[in-house]
Amino acid sequence: MKRTKTTKAAKTAKISKKIKKPRKYDNSARAEKSNSNRQRIIENYVSLLVEKHGEDLSLEELAERADLSTRTLFRFFGDKKSLTRELETYLENYVTRVSGNLQLMSLEDFAEFSFKVFDEYERLILAYLYTNFGQQSRVLFRRKFNALVMEKIKARIPEELTKEQQSRVHLIITLINANLWSDLRSVYSETGAEMGKSMKWAMGALLNNIKS
């Protein structure tokens, strides 16, 4: 029996059949799961930070709380510094969104909003206050905030203010500042929404009082 000569093309075809084709991954699903785990870590970090009143916590403790393995957590954040930086970015984005609302709202509406927002983001605001980042940036943010509020007031009352009127303006700024950073929250039993309605009325009254 004659031996059939195998062509080069046939040999290549046989070899290619033996080689396993690479497994196809759904990259979108993996990315979604990765983002979900990262978000879960940050959200649980916020919760633990508030519950421990800003006290230090370990990555192992955080992994257990997030219901993730320590190995998974370390894959996202190699150390405490990288986790802290991520939290700072997360909080900074929140503060930027909140402060941006002042540009779009009337002074009275913003005064109301700054109380109402506490109901929805109470843990986030407290976590911000517990971080070194929050404590350091608080002063800088207040300066920017004060300038924005003053700009709003001057737009409503363009004439030169007397010293008495200026003191009333500072009262307005102090009131909004205080509630924005939850300084007054623990004093009252009302919800943020209820306090917001009172603050909205107070802002209107104070502005009218300045004009008189």
Q: Report d(CA 179, CA 192) in Å as an integer.
A: 9
Q: Which two tokens stand for residue 69?
A: 């393995």
* Mean pLDDT within 198-207: 78
Share the mean pLDDT of the chain.
Answer: 74
Tokens describing residue 204: 């209107």
pTM for the whole structure: 0.57
Q: What angle do the packed helices 80-104 and 27-51 form, to 10 degrees?
A: 90
pLDDT tens for 29-71 read: 778 888 888 889 988 988 888 888 878 888 899 999 999 998 8
What is the rounded CA–CA span in Å between residue 167 and residue 41?
45
- The per-residue pLDDT for range 68-98, each reduced to its tens digit, is 998 888 888 888 888 888 888 887 777 677 6
Domains of the chain in sequence order: 33-209 (1.10.357.10)
108 has a pLDDT exceeding 70: yes
Q: Helix (H, G, I), strand (E, B), or coil: what is residue 73?
A: helix
Task: Provide the pLDDT confidence category of residue 187 given band limits of 50, 70 and 90.
Answer: low
C-alpha pair distances (Å), 106 with each of 101, 103, 112, 122, 175: 9, 8, 10, 23, 16
Measured CA to CA in angstroms, residue 24 lies from 21, 27, 28, 30, 35 at distances of 9, 9, 12, 12, 20
